[in-house]
């Protein structure tokens, strides 16, 4: 919709924590190629923050049969889509807040982590909502809580982490649109308007529902403030965890 309105080419860098190492490498190559052509839109420093368009909270899930089994150290383990992901640090924060040891098991994507919960290899996982919506419906997984500020429209019976007594774990990843700072502000403002109008359409809303994403849509200034707040929040958490990227 936005592409049709502006007649431009976009690169979508949707970092939801589900990508494998090969997919991240492919993204990096694509972003570099379009950067050289001067048409990149992605998550980088020194950018015009146009608008966030959707939110993606996470879920804490576990396998009932696994937790009913005999005592086992792996029952205190949780899987995530990867080391260094928000889900990795949310698990560390949960362990600290609840006062128990929670072993992190990183995977390459939400799919493998979820499958290992189902097969009993690990007892629990923290993954994005879309990764487990279909699996939770037939009761294959028990969803304990969502990290979103409100209950998920896809899983309305699941309480939020705030309702569960852990408000510090509230978090939702965002999908947003950004432009290089060299872009004229008039163009940035025009894009913001086009995106705002596109988000009001039934086509956009129905696609969010199909993807199990939550609608967003703050102003340019609010979006910029959210990015600054995220940086301020996660920097000390990452430092305290001792995590270091390879």
What pLDDT digit, counting tens, does each position of 81-92 carry?
A: 999 888 999 999
**Tokens standing for residue 224:** 């910029």
What's 163's domain CATH number? 3.40.190.10
Which domain-ending residue is among 169, 197, 212?
169
Structural domain total, the chain? 2
- pLDDT, one tens digit per residue, over 136-160 is 655 677 889 999 888 988 889 999 9
The pLDDT value given to residue 208: 84
Using pLDDT thresholds of 50, 70 and 90, give the confidence band for residue 45: low
Q: Are residues 201 and 159 in the same domain?
A: no
In this predicted structure, the answer to whether residue 43 has a pLDDT above a threshold of 90 is no
Q: What is the pLDDT of residue 34?
A: 38
Give the model confidence (pLDDT) of 103-113 as tens digits: 999 999 998 99
- The answer to the question of residue 74 being in a domain is yes
The dihedral of CA 155, 156, 157, 162: what is its sign? positive
Identify whether 246 is part of a domain.
Answer: no
pTM: 0.70
φ, ψ (nearest 5 deg) of residue 42: -165, -175
pLDDT, averaged across the chain: 76
Which residue is associated with the tokens 């998550």? Answer: 43
Of 150, 169, 188, the position where a domain reaches its end is 169
The predicted structure's pLDDT at residue 160? 93
Of these ranges, 19-23, 140-144, 156-160, 178-182, the one predicted with the greatest mean pLDDT is: 156-160
63 and 163 in a common domain: yes
Decide if 191 contacts 203 (C-beta within 8 A): no
Q: How confident is the model at residue 48 (pLDDT cuts 50, 70, 90)?
A: low
Tell me which residue range forms the domain holding 90: 57-169
Beta carbons of 173 and 212 less than 8 angstroms apart: no
pLDDT band per the 50, 70, 90 thresholds, residue 226: confident
pLDDT at 139: 65
Domain check: are 92 and 118 in the same one?
A: yes
């Amino acid at each position: 919709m936005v592409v049709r309105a502006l007649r431009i080419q976009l690169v979508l860098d949707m970092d939801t924590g589900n990508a494998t190492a090969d997919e991240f490498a492919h993204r990096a190559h694509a972003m570099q190629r379009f950067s050289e052509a001067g048409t990149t839109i992605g998550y980088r420093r020194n950018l015009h923050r146009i608008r966030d368009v959707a939110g993606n909270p996470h879920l804490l899930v576990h396998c009932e049969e696994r937790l009913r089994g005999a005592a086992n150290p792996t029952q205190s383990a949780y899987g995530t889509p990867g080391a260094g992901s928000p889900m990795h640090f949310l698990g560390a924060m949960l362990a600290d807040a609840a006062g128990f040891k929670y072993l992190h098991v990183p995977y390459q994507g939400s799919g493998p982590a979820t499958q290992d919960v189902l097969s009993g290899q690990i007892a629990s996982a923290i993954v994005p909502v879309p990764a487990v919506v279909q699996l939770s419906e037939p009761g294959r997984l028990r969803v304990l809580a969502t990290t979103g500020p409100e209950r998920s429209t896809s899983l309305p019976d699941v309480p939020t982490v705030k309702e569960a007594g852990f408000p510090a774990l509230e978090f939702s990843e965002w999908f947003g649109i950004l432009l290089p700072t060299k872009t004229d502000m008039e163009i940035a403002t025009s894009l913001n308007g086009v995106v705002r109008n596109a988000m009001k359409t039934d086509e956009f809303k129905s696609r969010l529902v199909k993807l199990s994403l939550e609608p967003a849509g703050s102003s340019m200034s609010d979006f910029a403030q959210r990015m600054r707040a995220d940086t301020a929040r996660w920097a000390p958490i990452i430092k305290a965890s001792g995590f270091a990227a390879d």
